[in-house]
Amino acid sequence: MIVESSFKPAWWMRNPHLQTILPRFYRKRHSIETIDEQLELPDGDFVELCWTDKPDPNSTKPLVVLFHGLGGSIDSFYARGMMEVIAKNGWTGVLMHFRGCGKKTNRHPQAYHSGETTDARYLIELLRQRYPNSPLSAIGFSLGGNMLSKYLGENGDDSLLDAAVVISAPLRLSPCAKRLSRNFSRVYQKFLLDMLKKGLIKKLGFLKEKFPIGITPHTVKKIKTLKEFDDLVTGPLHGFDSAEDYYAKCSGIQFLKGVTTPTLIIHAADDPFMTHQVHPVPEDLSPAIRYELSSGGGHVGFIHGKHPLKPKFWLEQRAPAFIESVLSKKLSKELSKTKS
91 in Cβ contact with 66 (< 8 Å): no
Check if 299 is active-site. Answer: yes
Check if 108 is active-site. Answer: no
The catalytic position among 68, 97, 267, 299 is 299
The catalytic position among 5, 142, 159, 294 is 142
Angstrom distance (rounded) from CA 87 to CA 37: 18
The catalytic position among 119, 162, 231, 271 is 271
Read off φ and ψ for residue 141, nearest 5 degrees.
-105, 130
Residue 26 exposed, middle or buried by CB count within 10 Å (0-12, 13-18, 19+): middle
326 in Cβ contact with 162 (< 8 Å): yes
Angstrom distance (rounded) from CA 340 to CA 332: 12
Question: Cα(first)–Cα(last) distance of the chain, in Å?
Answer: 31
Q: At how many degrees (to 10) do helices 77-88 and 315-339 cross?
A: 40
Check if 53 is active-site. Answer: no
Tell me, letter by letter, the H, E, C secondary structure of 49-98. Answer: EEECCCCCCCCCCCEEEEECCCCCCCCCHHHHHHHHHHHHCCCEEEEECC
Q: Which residues are within 8 A (CB) of 129 and not within 5 positions of it... i.e. 6 or more apart?
A: none
Cβ atoms < 10 Å from Cβ of 286: 17
Residues known to be catalytic: 142, 271, 299
